[in-house]
Chains A and B, each alone.
Chain A
Amino acid sequence: MATELKSGKVHVQATINGEIVDVLAEPRESLLEVLRDHLELTGAKEGCNNGNCGACNVIMDGRLVNSCCVLGVEAAGATIETIEGVASPAGLHPLQDAFLENAALQCGVCTPGFIVAAKALLDENPNPTEYDVRWWLAGNLCRCTGYDKIVRAVLDAAERVRAEA
């Protein structure tokens, strides 16, 4: 049977922050647009819209991705974690605490992307070196902090995550 070409509104079901979500997405809409415009998950930001800045980072099936470079329809059946799912009812994630305590943000536009990207790193490697952190976060741009406080916050959070483990 020939594969159907989809256009107009396409039904997409995905698991987002632990919840099964149904949404109608046009093929031209990015995952970022679907999250922000249809699901009101506006934590992920549109910075460059071409994969350079990382402000739209989400974790898709366990991998860090730029949601501006994924179509919403490609998310069918995927498990997605956004910044809105990082904190728990019990409180902030250690990364969020560490970002606050280390003053690792100023204007805050890049922060959701940095925290999601850093979470993807700590999920994979809870004991990163400074080099690991800088390399992993090279795809996240910040125009305020100069990065140093962000790197310190991630290393601090890694210590907290290891202490909790």
Chain B
Amino acid sequence: MRAIQYAAPTTVDDAVSILAEHGPRARMLAGGTDIIVQVREDARDADVLVDAKHIPELTSLTVDADGVTTLGAAVPCYELYNDAQFAAAYPAIVDAARIIGSTGIQGRASVGGNLCNSGPAGDTIPALIVHTAACNISGPGGARQVAVEDFCTAPGRNVLGNGELLVSLTLPAPSAGSGSHYLRFIPRNEMDIAVVGAGAFLQLDGDTISAARVALAAVAPTPLFVREAGDALVGAPADEASFAAAADLARSAASPIDDMRGTVAHRKQLSYVLTQRALRGAAARAQGGSPSNGH
């Protein structure tokens, strides 16, 4: 690896001033499973790494009195699936955290890091979108909040400006009768990058859907929020016909490319099939069960 400088600030303000001083050559280091490899392989032109893991706001997972969760940007994946309260509240995020890389990757890699890496196939990003997560960003100009669906702007790029960092994610309080699910298609069982990924959230009022959100991975330059698929489900019964209609909208919204992982036609079809399955899984969880295709 090229020579780099390393800083371990203990406050957000200190991290901001280092990032602001060094501009794009400075990058935050959370789990490191992407950024260390990218710097080593010269895929990112960075030579100042700012360790996120000594800043309390980035390493803590808290729930306030109203049930709103604040997930520090550097909290590793394993902490989420070992936290029964978090897993019950945000199951799609845990579905994604369990399938990113291997056990060893999940011991370091964070949801915030996955989001800031801003890959089109980032598994946690559709899961965050369907849970209506918001990014808490701090920078030289103060703090601001951005919806996760508006965070990524292009492959590997996002809205973070000079000196800004992702501090945490805010997740709305879970409500009774809701459920979510994220799944992806890969040619093997584990340790791969999504050909397509799909996340869904459903809020049920009896058998009727009162709120719904759908998002896809790896079918566009950024993870894709399919607002119209969720909107079409509101007021509809939670049944196969509704799910198929929403999945049709997801297929139409997908604008994938041909690459070594799959073709446009394959990815369009997967957008349909996986959206259906994500909705079935979300409905099963909303009704107290579990997705039949989950592990």
Contacts and interface: CB of A to CB of B under 8 A. Distances in A.
Interface of A: 2-7, 10, 26-30, 49-52, 54, 57, 60, 63-66, 68-71, 73-74, 76, 117, 120-121, 131, 135-140
A74 B36 CA distance: 12
A51 B33 contact: yes
Contacts, number: 113
B37 A69 contact: yes
Contacts of B189: 138
A69 B32 contact: yes
Given A66-B104, A74-B32, A138-B102, 9 more contacts: A3-B14, A27-B49, A49-B37, A51-B102, A63-B78, A64-B107, A71-B6, A117-B103, A135-B295
B103 A136 contact: yes
B158 to A, nearest CB: 22
Interface size band for B: 35 or more
B3 A28 contact: yes
A60 B107 CA distance: 9
Contacts of B295: 131, 135
B105 A69 contact: yes
B268 interface: no
Interface of B: 1-10, 14-15, 17-18, 29, 31-33, 36-37, 40-41, 48-49, 51, 53, 76, 78, 101-105, 107-108, 189-191, 295
Nearest to B38: A50
B175 to A, nearest CB: 31
Contact of A3 (B2, B7, B31, B40): B7
5 contacts: A27-B3, A51-B37, A65-B107, A66-B108, A74-B32
Nearest to A8: B3
Contacts of B36: 30, 68-71
7 residue pairs, one from A and one from B, having the closest CB atoms: A139-B102, A27-B6, A63-B107, A138-B190, A3-B9, A28-B1, A5-B5
